[in-house]
A and B are shown apart, each in its own frame.
Chain A
Amino acid sequence: MSTTTLPTLETEPVVAVKPRRRGRLRYSRNRLAYWLIAPAVAFMVLVHVVPMAGGVWLSFKNLNTFTFAQLWGAPGAGLANYKAILFDAGNPLRSGFLGAVQNTAVYTFWTVAGTLGGGLAVALLLNRPMRGQKVARTLMLTPWIVPSFVVAVLWQFMWQSDVGVINKFLVDWTGLLGERPVWLLGGNSLWAIIIPSIWRGLPFCMLIFLAGLQSLPRDLYEAAELDGAGPWQRFRYITLPLLRPLIAVQLLFGVIYATYQFAIPNVMLGTNPGPDADLMMTLIVRQSFSNNLFGFGAAASVLLMLAMLLWVAVWWRAFRRDLEVPV
């Protein structure tokens, strides 16, 4: 067992402080800080931990139309809800689960790729000195301040095959396409929600990248230029590595946000968007709130949460070095 030795004077005897006393000393020193964060901790426990634990508990319950009134006292289902979702292909209530997982993966991939890639590209453009730079930056931020609900309603009208402005542009005004594509039905409907999601998320990414770009040291670029590095090499070997921490953080939040996206698909396609665009969130909300299968929905939510925890673990392994702050 280790002990800590306090600084001593040559003339004094060595004093060994026991761990319990060391804890008391530390508490005494940090008491104010503990009290200051106590309300936030209590709030987090109340708002996050307790409901989450309750949700996990409900996922082991047979909570349906007939047992809803019993809530916590509803009959236990053991692992039945999880088994039905993961392994029981014959269970009619599992219908569409695998399709929703696949659609969610595709939606998340393209939304995050589009948001981050587009955000970085626009940030690079707006970082260059030019006339009207401030106006352009402000305009680029506009989609970010529009609520998701409004974004979805706007795009829903824009995508309409007969009177929507997108088909008017593609077919009537430019003649790029001969026939009017139907965007809100079938295979195109997933793209019809991916594109507005990118449009909504891109400005925030752009803002973060722009702030990052403006903090990069100019002398590195000047030195690289003197050494004959071209624009691509300067981007590849200076900009990108230095922006890695920002990319990492945006990737983490982007994937989680896109996976949990509900407002845009729900407003544009309803709670049952069909096999081509049903996402995990629309499926969970439909099973829980439309079908009153709260136990089933809670189990699907827990599985989605575990998938996100796995993603965070993968992300941490990949990026933790980028996030270390030099002391």
Chain B
Amino acid sequence: MTIKLKVALAALVVGVLVLVGCGGDGSDDSGGAAATNQIKKGTTVKLWIMPNGPDPQADMEKALQPFTEKTGIKVDVEVVDWGVQLDRIRNAAVSGEGPDVTQAGTTQVPFFAALGGFEDLSKRVGDVGGKGAYPEGVWNTTQVVGQDGTWAVPWFTEARVIYYRKDVLEKAGIDPATAFTDWDAFRSTLETIKQQVPGVSPFGSPGKKAFDLVHHVMPFVWDAGGAELSDDAKKSTINSTEAQEGVTFMADLIKDGLYDSSELERDGTQVENQFKGGKLATWMGGPWVLGSVKRADDENWVPAARKNVGVAPMPKGPTGEAFTFVGGSNLMMYKSSKHKNEAWELIKFLSQDQVQTDYASIQGMFPARVEPQQAYGESEGADFKAVFEGIQQGRTYAPVPQWAQIENAYKGRFGNILDSAAGKGESYSPETVQKELDEAAKEADGLLAQSAG
């Protein structure tokens, strides 16, 4: 039985079993060696992307026209939905039946690299400037703990920042320049809005329905001196005193009526639309929302909110740091690609400063490379600059193959804590927070203990 058939059968088996109750590569090309960079004109390279921006297929094809004209390499673009991309990329890596290049979420890279189906690009990345061409937090997303190699090339980037309504702050008599400088200022701003501006909730953020809940909580944990895993990435440290302090800061906002608890019932997009709809005075989000301000076809905006959007970097915590989560997408090359040189040409093209800037701006993201990132951040006004500053303070999770699972475990426990602060589930107390974080650490340690044996 071929590996491909096995994979297809296994997928079928798992799928059916869930309903009823639940290799080798195609190439012997050595990893990463750009020994011969000969390119065959007329070759077709297959590229998987996710739904980036308003018209992902057309936007990508348009962006690639100059590449095909210059190199003679055709690119077959396929848009793979975020809901199925993990399964498809994984199955393609295991079966050897897939595209040449794929987009992957930054936090997914270690997992995909662990499957063994992707090319180590260490010997090629010098062509695009290597480590020095990218912010440190962004470059770290191409590495895997305990595994030599560079498994991806950063493509575009985002960082979470504070969005606020300028008109609401003005009504409350708050200076935006000092409103979000540190935790105390942030909290004081929300309290003042609550007292001075009725009819709008001071702050809102989604609960455990949001895929990115952990991205919103971890900055507070980092700011308090906590971390998701130990330095050697062998143990969870999410139940440390510092981590508890960070989580408690966020949950206390709910307990004290500063964080609209009804937002916990919604997912990320729904809460984003609450901000656009004028229901929230402040909210945490990525740069794509800033990009959507100018788009008249985004009808979720009410005029008052659209006209008064302001952006600030995340507040500093007790350690004096103001970390934020930095994410985005990277490009990975399949080991099974029969056209590695052409695929690398494509990655090189997509890593060019102007190409990155143009493509990132379509979708409201930021280029991954330092220089175009800075130029883009400084060219579009104060709000974009705030996002750029956020990226420089960006931090990402320990690049271990099990991160996606650990994030999932943390998400559930963070969600339970926020629910309890809203008076749902277990009663909210320091003991409840500690108990949930202990459980999260236990689950994470169980996942970290997974091995090939």
List residues of chain A with CB under 8 Å of any chain B CB. 47-48, 50-52, 54-55, 58-59, 62, 64-69, 71-72, 75, 91-93, 95, 159-162, 182-188, 260, 262, 269-270, 272, 274-276, 281, 284-286, 288-294, 297-298, 300-308
Whether the Cβ atoms of B14 and A55 lie closer than 8 Å is yes
Q: What are 17 A-B pairs at a CB distance below 8 A?
A: A51-B9, A51-B15, A52-B17, A55-B20, A69-B23, A69-B94, A91-B446, A95-B443, A188-B424, A275-B425, A281-B18, A284-B22, A291-B409, A292-B405, A297-B18, A297-B22, A306-B21
Tell me the bound Cα distance from A39 to B349 in angstroms: 52
Since A274-B425, A276-B424 are in contact, a sample of 17 more A-B pairs with Cβ atoms closer than 8 Å, ordered by chain A residue number, is: A48-B16, A51-B16, A58-B17, A65-B402, A92-B446, A93-B443, A93-B447, A161-B265, A162-B260, A272-B415, A274-B419, A292-B111, A298-B14, A302-B17, A302-B21, A306-B21, A307-B21
B416 contacts partner chain A, Cβ-Cβ < 8 Å: yes
Whether the Cβ atoms of B443 and A297 lie closer than 8 Å is no
The stretch of B113-121, B152-160, B340-348, B374-382 in contact with A is B113-121
Whether the Cβ atoms of A301 and B22 lie closer than 8 Å is yes
B191 contacts partner chain A, Cβ-Cβ < 8 Å: no
Tell me the bound Cα distance from A164 to B432 in angstroms: 30
Whether the Cβ atoms of A185 and B7 lie closer than 8 Å is no
Task: Fill in one digit per residue for B1-34: 1 if any A CB lies within 8 Å of its CB, else 0.
Answer: 0000011011011111111111100000000000
| B12 neighbours in A (Cβ, 8 Å) | 51, 54
Which residue from chain A places its CB closest to the CB of B443 in the assembled complex? A92
Tell me the bound Cα distance from A64 to B439 in angstroms: 21
Interface size on B, residues (CB 8 A): 61
Whether the Cβ atoms of B425 and A276 lie closer than 8 Å is yes
Tell me the bound Cα distance from A127 to B157 in angstroms: 63
Most chain A CB atoms below 10 A, which of B209, B264, B404: B209
Grouping DSSP codes into helix (H, G, I), strand (E, B) and loop, the B interface class, with mixed when no group exceeds half, is helix
Tell me the bound Cα distance from A281 to B18 in angstroms: 7
Which residue from chain A places its CB closest to the CB of B87 in the assembled complex? A289
Whether the Cβ atoms of A65 and B425 lie closer than 8 Å is no
Q: Which of B14, B17, B265 contacts A185 (CB 8 A)?
A: B265
| B20 neighbours in A (Cβ, 8 Å) | 48, 52, 55, 260, 301, 305, 308
| A55 neighbours in B (Cβ, 8 Å) | 13-14, 16-17, 20, 22
Whether the Cβ atoms of B94 and A302 lie closer than 8 Å is no
| B265 neighbours in A (Cβ, 8 Å) | 159-161, 182-185
| A162 neighbours in B (Cβ, 8 Å) | 260, 262
Whether the Cβ atoms of A186 and B22 lie closer than 8 Å is no
| B411 neighbours in A (Cβ, 8 Å) | 272
Which residue from chain B places its CB closest to the CB of A66 in the assembled complex? B452
| A308 neighbours in B (Cβ, 8 Å) | 20-21
Tell me the bound Cα distance from A62 to B451 in angstroms: 9
| A69 neighbours in B (Cβ, 8 Å) | 23, 93-94, 115-117
Most chain A CB atoms below 10 A, which of B6, B94, B265, B412: B265
Q: Which of A66, A270, A285 contacts B18 (CB 8 A)?
A: A285
Whether the Cβ atoms of A290 and B18 lie closer than 8 Å is no
List residues of chain B with CB under 8 Å of any chain A CB. 6-7, 9-10, 12-23, 87, 90, 93-94, 111, 114-117, 207-209, 260-262, 264-267, 401-402, 404-405, 408-409, 411-412, 415-416, 419, 422-425, 439, 442-447, 450-453
Whether the Cβ atoms of B16 and A52 lie closer than 8 Å is yes
Whether the Cβ atoms of B439 and A65 lie closer than 8 Å is no
| A291 neighbours in B (Cβ, 8 Å) | 405, 408-409, 447
Whether the Cβ atoms of A185 and B267 lie closer than 8 Å is no
Tell me the bound Cα distance from A50 to B14 in angstroms: 11
Whether the Cβ atoms of B408 and A290 lie closer than 8 Å is yes
Which residue from chain B places its CB closest to the CB of A157 in the assembled complex? B270
Most chain A CB atoms below 10 A, which of B10, B415, B422: B10
Which residue from chain B places its CB closest to the CB of A302 in the assembled complex? B21
Whether the Cβ atoms of B424 and A297 lie closer than 8 Å is no
Whether the Cβ atoms of B412 and A272 lie closer than 8 Å is yes
Tell me the bound Cα distance from A238 to B336 in angstroms: 69
Which residue from chain B places its CB closest to the CB of A163 in the assembled complex? B262
| B452 neighbours in A (Cβ, 8 Å) | 66-67, 75
Shortest Cβ distance from A123 into chain B, in angstroms? 29
Which residue from chain A places its CB closest to the CB of B426 in the assembled complex? A275
Q: Which of B114, B208, B401, B453 contacts A272 (CB 8 A)?
A: B208
Tell me the bound Cα distance from A275 to B115 in angstroms: 32
Whether the Cβ atoms of A71 and B447 lie closer than 8 Å is no
Tell me the bound Cα distance from A55 to B404 in angstroms: 24
Shortest Cβ distance from B20 into chain A, in angstroms? 6
| A65 neighbours in B (Cβ, 8 Å) | 111, 114, 401-402, 405, 450
Instruction: Known A65-B114, A290-B408, A292-B405; judge A302-B22 contact (CB<8 A).
Output: yes
Tell me the bound Cα distance from A289 to B83 in angstroms: 12
Tell me the bound Cα distance from A72 to B115 in angstroms: 15
